[in-house]
Chain A
Amino acid sequence: MKKLRLLTVSILVALSALAGLYAQELTGEEIIRLAHEIPEPDSSSVKAKLLIHSKKGTEKTREVIMKSKNYGDVTKEVIVFTSPKDVSGVGYLMFNYEEQEDGSKKDSENWLYMPALKKVKRIASSGTEAEGNFMGTDFTYEDMGDRSISKDTYTLLGEEYAGGVKCWKIKCVSIEHTESDPERVVYIGQDDYLLYRCEFYDRHGALHRVLECSEIEYIDSYPCTKVMKMQNVQSGSWSMITMSDVQYNTGAIDDSVFTVSALEQGRIR
């Protein structure tokens, strides 16, 4: 699933071994670039439970169905809430376009279906929208997406363990520096090139959020990070996304799922 790419970075075993031989010579950008080049499933279907823990200690749970399919130049994704009742049936349809060689990227196309109004709404795409909360969690849409390599500069800080795994520790700094978290420190596993931890720093350089990835499984030879926990260390809130019923390349996802009509008709189950 494209949206999970950042959180499920991996590399082919052979490539991994090769990279390991030359790890001493790799730069931070080369490690990130290799992680971005991992093969991905063409389609995926996932059920996810979103646990939102507020700073007051209250908890909310959201359950969604997420489906995605890669069409080459565009990845189509659909997310439909199944629980709780007051948001059940609300759906998002998104077409995210690949970045061109010159670094340009066509605006995404987004639709929102609200069952109470029986209406699909066209949503504008914008750079700032990417920093909006993903479904009310501590994740942003950009966290769940595929950040362009050309947007950051990279510095290899060294080696460190994260989640019990030996990782490369790489500092990624936004070139434009306009994001609310323009600096990240990512921990990439040295053996599997997966992301195990990410620290997000705000514009003042203060630690803002911490992402921890766990329960990584291989499904149909593709890695899947089943549990992702994002803690907002400044507010005290945290969110956890738990994946289940993960299916890659099953061939069962019909193109008609990724249409406005399918959203309106409630066909996405």
Chain B
Amino acid sequence: MKKTALLSVLLFAVLSLSFAAEVCFSGETSFSGVLSVPPAGDPWKFTSATVKQTLELDVYGENTDLYVNGGAEYEALGSEVTAFLSEAYADYFTGRFAFRLGRQKASWGTSEIMSAVNVITPSDLSDPVESSPLAIDALKLSYDAFPYSFDFYFIPFFTPSTLPQSVLDMYSYYGIEITKPETKLENSEAAFKGSAYTSAGDFSLYGYWGWEDIPNMAGEYERLVMVGASAAVPVGEVTLKGEAGWYPERDEVISASAGVEWIKNDLTLTGELYGVWNREDKEITGQAGAAVNYSLLEGDLEISAGGILELKELDGAVTAGATYSFTDELKATASAVFMFEGVNGTGTYGAYKELDSLRFKAVYSF
């Protein structure tokens, strides 16, 4: 079935190409390293050193677009090479309708730090500190009647989140096999987003029917249903943001966040509160997050800092970093991540103290 889908994408791509007028080719080479902060007395050591080559092809015509983003990554410490295909899709636009078929990424919600509704794509959690969204293999139909727009997704192939090696080792230790839902029509996922972009603000409704992207303790992926909403309302110099999601299949039945963002010239400040209502425990657990981003030296240097605080145990994580652009093509980043255990030493973030690290990255793009 996946082969048929792939052939369909290729056929669509060939059709796109036949109408194409422009071809853009670009890429990025990056070197990154993670230096773990050891417990007192232990030596410092690199826990990751990678070279990543990404290539990007964009072929487009008046009403069509073919986009491919993929490459390979070499992990020097494990001498392991991994090829990846981040995105590969074909677009067709006609009037108010747009179709996108293939491997694609999407993002839901208005939150910058902790989202209550962004369930449309799974995540690459192999490095939990720098988790990133993964693409889904889907057909997306969009209808645009500005100020309203509607997106419908049909996702025939389930894509789970990529788990950290330590979690995979735990499943393996207990002899638990992780099993994905069988690929068949009734196991397909579907999603909907409807938005209104008005003078007063942006308002969206979301619906998702699919699977949790992280397995339960039995190694199975459970059904996930979500109905949510988000808003972004500009008020003077700030934008107020809010999200709420209802998850009837989960014990943590309601998630919600509220935040504010202030942008002035080269400075961006963001503050957010995030809460989850657990119907079993009948309690709300909350987190607070903040981020600051400032650009200086005529934009050559960008410094950023952020943090998350769990409001019950007062545990959390802080990050700080700086990126310097030597040229338009070459930039380097240094950052630090630290977890803290909170008042009782039992907080969730404190359990990940081994993620305390200094991180370095150099990127050359062309």
Contacts and interface: CB of A to CB of B under 8 A. Distances in A.
A159 B279 CA distance: 78
B357 interface: no
Contacts of A260: 146, 149, 195, 197, 202
A48 B142 CA distance: 30
Contacts of B107: 117-119
A220 interface: no
Nearest to A260: B197
Contacts, number: 110
Interface stretch (A127-135, A169-177, A211-219): A127-135
Chain B interface residue count: which class? 35 or more
B321 interface: no
B131 interface: no
Nearest to B366: A85
Contacts of B133: 118
**Taking chain B's interface residues, is the majority helix, strand, or loop, or is none over half, making it mixed?**
strand
B149 A86 contact: no
Interface residues of A, number: 40
A54 B263 contact: no
B149 A259 contact: yes
B336 to A, nearest CB: 22
Contacts of B202: 111, 122, 260
Given A256-B144, A260-B195, A265-B98, A136 B331 contact: no
Interface in B192-238: 195, 197, 199, 201-202, 232-238
B197 A111 contact: yes
B263 A123 contact: yes
B329 A85 contact: yes
Interface of A: 52, 54-55, 60-61, 84-86, 88, 106-107, 109, 111, 117-119, 121-126, 128-129, 131-133, 136, 237, 255-256, 258-262, 265-267, 269
Q: Which 8 A-B pairs have the closest CB atoms?
A: A124-B234, A85-B365, A84-B328, A126-B237, A122-B232, A259-B146, A261-B144, A132-B265
Interface of B: 22, 26, 28, 60, 65, 67, 91, 93, 95-96, 98, 100, 105-107, 110, 133, 142, 144, 146, 149, 195, 197, 199, 201-202, 232-239, 261-266, 298-300, 328-329, 331, 363, 365-366
Given A86-B365, A107-B234, A265-B93, 13 more contacts: A54-B298, A61-B328, A85-B26, A121-B110, A122-B202, A122-B234, A124-B235, A128-B237, A128-B265, A132-B264, A260-B202, A261-B98, A265-B91
